[in-house]
Amino acid sequence: MSMATATAQPVERENYLNKHYGVGSWLFTTDHKRIALLYLISITFFFFIGGFFALLIRLELLTPASDLVQADTYNKLFTMHGMVMVFFFLIPSIPAVLGNFLVPMMIGAKDLAFPRINLLSWYLYIIGGVMMLHCMLTGGVDTGWTFYTPFSTAFTNTKIVEAGLAIFVAGFSSILTGLNFVVTIHRMRAPGMTWSRLPLFIWAHYATSIIQILGTPVIAITIVLVAVERTLHLGIFDPKLGGDPLLFQHLFWFYSHPAVYIMILPSMGVVTEIIACFSRKRIFGYSFVAFSSIAIAVFGFLVWAHHMFVAGISVYAALVFSLLSYAVAVPSAVKVFNWTATLYKGSIHYDAPMLYAFGFIGLFTMGGLTGLFLAALGIDVHVTDTYFVVAHFHYIMVGGALMGYLGGMHFWWPKISGRLYPESWARLAALIVFLGFNLTFFPQFVLGYLGMPRRYADYSHMPEFQVLNVLSTAGATVLGVGYLLPMLYFLWSMRYGKPAPDNPWNAAGLEWKTPSPPTTFNFEEEPVVTWEAYNYEELDAPHKEEVPVVR
């Protein structure tokens, strides 16, 4: 393999970053790695917008009275926070950035199957994003990110249709990404890269793509119905005109519950790669981890109505959905147990990506277990629409998905940028994120259990909740620092960081057999895979030869 030996040259060799220069070379690129960077910049922008809304929400809740903003403004703040974070940050985050960059490289392909469709998906994302920005700057939406009918279609006078269309367009970007991944994984694998040799990151993205392909169109048509009903005053969901608002909730959650798995599954894939690398072991129970991803994707489509236990669905339906929601916990637990079993007797390295992976396991487990509380009919009635729910899904979506994203960004940053980030700063940031996160969201579990409802600007009749809210706001500040740090030292490293070797972690996986940063077509010649995934025992075996590959 020529690319394994072509390391250590002093001058910068040609790679995907320096091959072409100029704005046009970026805006019209079809290179999956450049599109990944376009996505990285765009979603980071939206992350900080969503974060800004979160900051205002937390500041308002610092005191019981609604003194910083009025209730109407507060409604808009949490709505826009949710819409931006869900549709413009979390859903594209790992698939569109790390997935775009790594899926072709991990399976030994030169690019995704449809490079131009890949670029189109980024443009759709940007069009949707610009529409969302315009909507926010000209008044925003106040319904909550769920835009429940008939409030959204018959009552609110905010910009539902524009926000809906923004999400509609961004949704097609998500569908096209998923479509590209499925075709690429089926058709573009290098010789010898069988399904059982695929990195589990790929399995996770395959499962994610299935949800993107089959779930997203349902919310697309739901948005069309909402927009038409609102514009023409029809009665599809409006009970006053004979429609059924529950139908809206069913259609909405049919996508929006699986959407949570769009956020968490890729993160699980990232964590699997990191755990194997930094405990220097083959992942425990490869096929169980692989198929648990598929099982989560499949079960994930069958549990949506657990968001509607108090909405008036039949008690028998609720029982079935409760049981099915418990069933999702099984493949999720399989993953957690397999990760911990991989750690057992591994030679564990506490590098920054591994710290994020540890954080992920702990926080995801907390989020998952509290999800079981909410799947239980009795407890759900008690804590519905309280901060308990808010804390639960932030443990999954921020503690889980975002920790995985940051872990992955650190793990593959040397490959993406060709530079090393400052390790001690990175460990410090990981610690700050973990502490800040728990300080922000753990008090919210308590708040919710004590009965503080979500989506209220004013809790002055319950002043005893202030202490926990102050803790939460303080935690959010710490968390904000934790998120700013990586952005700063990543930017710093692009200029001042040490050049990264091709495989700084001595990790398994085809992507590490390319130069750092890779060349435009990734591989000089088509790789032929003859080894299993995560062959760390072979990699760490006392020096045999240059490349520890049995050919």
Q: Which residues contact other proteins by CB under 8 A?
A: 109-115, 117, 175, 179-180, 182-184, 186-189, 191, 213-218, 220-222, 224-225, 228-229, 232-236, 241-244, 247, 250-251, 254, 521, 525-526, 528
Are residues 98 and 409 in contact, defined by beta-carbon separation less than 8 angstroms?
yes
Helix (H, G, I), strand (E, B) or coil at 419: strand
Task: Give me 298's structure tokens.
Answer: 């499949």
Residue number with CB closer to other proteins (123 or 496):
123
Residue number with CB closer to other proteins (23 or 232):
232
CB atoms within 10 A of CB 119: 20
Residue closest to 153 by CA, chosen among 223, 221, 207, 204: 223
Residues 6+ apart with CB under 8 A from 460: 64, 65
CB 526, min distance to other proteins, A: 5
Task: Give me 25's structure tokens.
Answer: 């070379």
Alpha carbons 182 and 179: distance in angstroms, whole number: 5
Residue number with CB closer to other proteins (301 or 421):
301
Omega within 30 of 0 (cis) for the link into 518 = no
Residue number with CB closer to other proteins (175 or 270):
175
Are residues 262 and 207 in contact, defined by beta-carbon separation less than 8 angstroms?
no
CB 183, min distance to other proteins, A: 5
Burial (CB count within 10 angstroms: exposed 0-12, middle 13-18, buried 19+), residue 137: exposed
CB 233, min distance to other proteins, A: 7
Residue closest to 265 by CA, chosen among 287, 302, 303, 298: 298
Alpha carbons 20 and 11: distance in angstroms, whole number: 17
Residue number with CB closer to other proteins (137 or 232):
232
Residue number with CB closer to other proteins (203 or 437):
203
Residue number with CB closer to other proteins (247 or 341):
247
In the chain, what's the furthest Cα-to-Cα distance? 77
CB 210, min distance to other proteins, A: 9
CB 212, min distance to other proteins, A: 9
Residue number with CB closer to other proteins (117 or 369):
117
What percentage of the chain's residues is helix, strand, coil (to nearest 5)? 70, 0, 30
CB 229, min distance to other proteins, A: 8
CB 410, min distance to other proteins, A: 29
CB 147, min distance to other proteins, A: 15
